[in-house]
Each structure stands twice: as structure tokens, then as C-alpha cells.
Amino acid sequence: MRKRIAIIGSGFSGISAAAYTAKSGNEVHVFEKHSQPGGRARQIETDEGYVFDMGPSWYWMPDVIQDFFVDFGYKTSDFFELVSLNPQFEMIFSDEKLCVPENFEELKITFEKIEKGAGLQLEKFMKSAKFKYEVGMKDFVHKPCINWVEFISPKIAKNALRLDLLSNFREYVARYFKSEKLRTLMEFPVIFLGASPKNIPALYSLMNYGGYVLGTYYPKGGFYQLVLAMKKVAEEQGAIFHFNCNVEKINVKDKKVSSLVINGEIHEFDEVIASSDYHHTETLLNEEYRNYTSEYWEKKTFAPSSLIFYLGFNQIIPNLKHHTLFFENELDQHIDCIYEEKKWPEKPLFYVCCPSKTDNSVAPEGKENLFLLMPIAIGIKDNEFVRQKYLMEMLARIEKHTGITDLQSKIDFKKSYCVRDFTSDYNAYGGNAYGLANTLNQTAVLKPKMRNKKLKNLFYTGQLTVPGPGVPPSIISGKIVGNEINKIKN
């Protein structure tokens, strides 16, 4: 039966869910509160000629992203050009810098130079990580995780030990490498998963494989090209996108969602998929229909929020790579400020993306486009004073690294983004940037459920449910929910 389906939100998960449900012949409408698609991956175009991706900048796991397009008879190259970055990124320590090259053999040499035997150890680490990637990204993450019986397939049960689900990432990395620098380099990707390496299962070494071995890419024109390409695919399947449409309430009748209130008007649907932040979606329901209480959310470990600056500079900044990690201070000190102490860091680490090094369409000629990101605790005090204070610190460290002086006077465009903006723009709990952390007790079946327990026609998708945060998982999340809806007969 052709169903009338509403999707709340047009981030990666919402667009993906729209494409899969429309492909099965349903009438699909996507309602997005903003004027453009992409959610956390929206783009800003300034009058000065800068183009900023607002969120994601690391294009990892290209095969997983490709799978979405293949499902609809396409390839990513039908829509945009992917550039493989070399080096993939540079990490700045207090006493030296380390480049991660595109070529894995060269990376082994880099490791060997830092620690005798580390080249071979890296090979062993990646052999195991490849196995996890293949089982994890091809099997495990595609499950709706309704219960343990459904989740633990014979393949997962047979390989439970090799998947390292129960050991922690910190100890796991330490088994391979002694050098603090190499450990930090290997631990850094789990920050994307929103938790301390101490609390993340070693299973997620699959991230190291999905990045360092498969490579770090950049879509020409910016990450937003992926959003536009996916939207085009969804529209070709028949999905209809409605922008500037805020969903204000989810109405219930006879134990089913009957309609949505959108910009003050009532619209009826057979099924609803909410890709808006899970906690916010539940506030659109009367309390008795919510899956989780406010106490439940208070106890959850959220991934960090972020302080971000989108900066245009009126000159080229030398000695800066496309991706640079400023890790001159201790990783643990910063991480503890996010998860334990929940305060602004005294000795912060931060990340700089300079896409104009690869793409001359994102800044006017002779100018530079910089995106600065510092992960911080959710819910902390955020005001102009504190944002400015950290901007000064980050600029000073960029000056030291690049040799350019008085960067502040060269700023041509400046916009900051932080906790308050995540909360107001995305209805994000505590102003989180990356959803819910992938800690052991928030993995798979232990994540917030994809289906409402009392209302059979209400589903949730996106980075707060399975499989978790990140662009590839969000795309997969939309596919899983689409498949669940397609299984329903009437």
C-alpha cells in the first residue's frame, strides 16, 4: 500500500530515509525548519565570497557513502569530484609535527621513525581494524538493534572476541604502541564518536582503518555537495522537500500518530520518521507517549558540543595543511574538561580546516577560508566574551605554527557558532554537536530505540539512535529506518 510518510528534518539521516522510503513507492514529504537541507552539514555563502561548510569536513569511509548511491544506480562521481588528501592531516605537538600521508606504506615508515617496531605494529593493528570494519560496517551497523537476539547474528557471536566489544580503546592502543605521540594519533579519531578513549570499546579501531587506511577525502565544492547529491537522489525517487517548515507537535489518535502540526497547520500522515534530535522529537509528544523520561536523558553521555569559528582571511596563510590538529597540550586534560569536569578547558586542543588549500571555489583569489573547531562540554556557559577569548588563543597558536603575525587584523569575515546556536538551530539537547556518545553502554541495542514503544507508526533516525554519530552512520541510520517501514505491510 502506498503510504503517506512525513520525515522531520533534512540532515543526512532524514534525506537517506526519504530516498529509501520513496523508492518503495510511498508518498514522502520532508519538513525542515531551515531554508536549506543538510542539518548540521549546512553551508554558508558570504557576501565577501567565502563558502563555509558548517559541520562535517572529514570525508571518511568513502565506500559506505558510495553504497548509498549504488543502491539508487549511481556513483558519487556522478555528482561531485572527490580529492584524496595528501597528507591526510597534520598533527602539531609541543615539540614536533607529524603528517599522516595518503600512502599506508609511508605511514608505517613515519611510525617506525618515532618508535622502533611501530611500523609492524601498525600493520598488525590495521589488520585487526580491517576485520572489525568489514564485520562492523557491513553487518553490525545495518541492524535496527531491536533486541539482543536480533542483534547477535551467528557471524557476530562467532567473532565476538575478535571484535573487541568489551575491551577499552585506550588499553587496546597501548598494547600496540609505547610512544605517547603515536597513542594520541591513534586515539584521536574516537573523539568523533563523542567519548573518551577510556570509555570507548576497542571495536572502534575500525575508525582508524576507515580513515588512515582508506584515506581522507574532500568533495570539491565542499561537504555540502554530498547533501545536494543525496537530496537529488531522494527527489528522483519522488520525495518532496518543504523548507522553513517547523514541526511543532505530533498528534495522536487511537494509539497511532495521526498528524503533525507544521507552522500552525495540521497535516495527516500514515507514518512519521523523526530525524530531528531524539530528545527534542519526544518533547513534541504528550508525555505518556514518550519512549524516555527526562531522567533518562540526564544520565546519558552526550557527545561534545563545539566552539566553531568560520573565518575568511584577506591573505594566503602559509604552512597550513587542509586539516591540522593543534594537539600541543595533553589530550586527557581536555577530554576530562568535556566529560568529567564539564567546564571550559584551560589548555585546549583544537582543529583547523583550511579547504581553500584544496579548492579555490571556497575563498576569493588570494584569500583563505578557515574553520576552527574546539570540542567542549555540552550545556556550559557560552557568551561572546568566552568565544572571543578562545579565538585569541587559537589564533596565537596558528600564528606560532604558520609564522604569520597579527592574524586578527587580516580577518575579512568572522562568524562564531557554539552551544547556544546548536540548541536554537537544531533543538539539540545541551547544545550537543555530535549526538550521543558511542560508549559501551550506549552501543547497539543499548541506544535509544528506533521505534516508539507505544505508537507503532512513529520512528526515530539520526545520530542519537543506531548506529551513532558521524556522516556514514547517519546515512545508514536513514536506510535502516526506511527498511523497517518498508517491512510494514499496512
Ligand X SMILES: Cc1cc2nc3c(=O)[nH]c(=O)nc-3n(C[C@H](O)[C@H](O)[C@H](O)COP(=O)(O)OP(=O)(O)OC[C@H]3O[C@@H](n4cnc5c(N)ncnc54)[C@H](O)[C@@H]3O)c2cc1C
Rounded to an integer, what is the distance from CA 362 to the centroid of its chain? 21
Distance of CA 331 to the CA centre of its chain: 20
By the rule CB under 6 A, 136 interacts with ligand X: no
**Are the C-beta atoms of 320 and 352 separated by less than 8 Å?**
yes
Is residue 188 near ligand X by the rule CB under 6 A? no
Give the one residue of 189, 197, 467, 469 binding ligand X; rule: CB under 6 A. Answer: 469
Q: Nearer to ligand X by C-beta: 8 or 92?
A: 8
Contacting ligand X (CB under 6 A), which of 20, 326, 426, 429? 426
Find the binder of ligand X among 280, 290, 357, 397 (CB under 6 A).
Answer: 280
Instruction: Return the range that interacts with ligand X (CB under 6 A); candidates 162-170, 326-334, 427-435, 451-459.
Output: 427-435
53 touching ligand X, by CB under 6 A? no
The span of 141-149, 183-191, 443-451, 467-475 binding ligand X (CB under 6 A) equals 467-475
How far is it, in rounded angstroms, from Cα 9 to Cα 483? Answer: 18
Quote the least distance from Cβ 267 to ligand X, whole Å: 12
Nearer to ligand X, 18 or 404 (CB): 18
Cα(225)–Cα(349) distance, integer angstroms: 29
- 430 is a site residue for ligand X (CB under 6 A): no
CB of 9 to ligand X, least distance (A): 2
Instruction: Count CA atoms within 13 Å of residue 226 on its CB side.
Output: 31
In the complex, least distance from residue 299 CB atom to ligand X, rounded to whole angstroms: 21
Under the binding rule (CB under 6 A), the answer on residue 12 touching ligand X is yes
Alpha carbon distances (Å) from 264 to 15, 279, 287, 427: 24, 21, 20, 18
Pick the stretch among 31-39, 80-88, 344-352, 395-403 that binds ligand X (CB under 6 A).
Answer: 31-39
- Rounded least distance, CB 401 to ligand X, Å: 21
Contact call for residue 310 and ligand X (CB under 6 A): no
Among 471, 476, 480, 485, binds ligand X (CB under 6 A): 471
Question: Cα(464)–Cα(258) distance, rounded to whole angstroms?
Answer: 24
Under the binding rule (CB under 6 A), the answer on residue 14 touching ligand X is yes
Looking up cell 609505547 gives: 178
Residue 8 interacts with ligand X (CB under 6 A)?
Answer: yes
- Distances from the Cα of 422 to the Cαs of 97, 222, 352, 375, 430, in angstroms? 32, 21, 20, 13, 8
Among 20, 31, 89, 302, binds ligand X (CB under 6 A): 31
CB of 445 to ligand X, least distance (A): 19
Q: Are strands 27-31 and 4-8 parallel, antiparallel or unpaired?
A: parallel
Q: Which regions of 39-110 does DSSP assign to beta strands (E)?
A: 43-45, 51-53, 82-84, 89-92, 97-100
Stretch that binds ligand X, among 86-94, 396-404, 426-434, 439-447 (CB under 6 A): 426-434
| 56 is a contact residue toward ligand X (CB under 6 A) | yes
Options 19-27, 176-184, 203-211, 461-469: segment touching ligand X (CB under 6 A): 461-469
**Position 378 contacts ligand X (CB under 6 A):** no
Is residue 463 close enough to count as binding ligand X by CB under 6 A?
Answer: yes
Note whether 44 and 52 are within 8 A (CB): yes
Q: How far is CA 29 from CA 3, 5, 85, in A?
A: 11, 6, 37
Distances (CA, A) of 397 to 115, 351, 384: 27, 11, 20
Q: Which 323-342 positions form the footprint of ligand X (CB under 6 A)?
A: none
Site for ligand X in 201-260 (CB under 6 A): 246-247
Q: How far is CA 366 from the centre of its chain?
A: 31
100 binds ligand X (CB under 6 A): no
Judged by CB, which is closer to ligand X: 215, or 470?
470
Residue 39 makes contact with ligand X by CB under 6 A: yes
Report the residue count for the chain. Answer: 490
> Three-state SS for 318?
coil
Q: Closer to ligand X at the Cβ: 58 or 176? A: 58
Give the footprint of ligand X on residues 344-363 (CB under 6 A).
none
Sheet holding 265-268, edge to edge: 247-253, 256-262, 265-268
* Beta strands per DSSP E along 263-302: 265-268, 271-274
C-alpha cell at 244: 522553513
How far apart, in Å, are the Cα atoms of 34 and each of 30, 37, 85, 351, 461?
A: 12, 7, 31, 27, 18
Least distance in angstroms from the C-beta of 480 to ligand X: 12
Crossing angle of the two packed helices 12-23 and 224-236, in degrees rounded to 10: 20
In the bound state with ligand X, the residue whose beta carbon lies nearer, of 121 and 457, is: 457
Name the site residues for ligand X (rule: CB under 6 A): 8-14, 31-34, 39-41, 55-58, 246-247, 275-276, 280, 306, 308, 373, 426-427, 433-434, 462-463, 469-471, 474
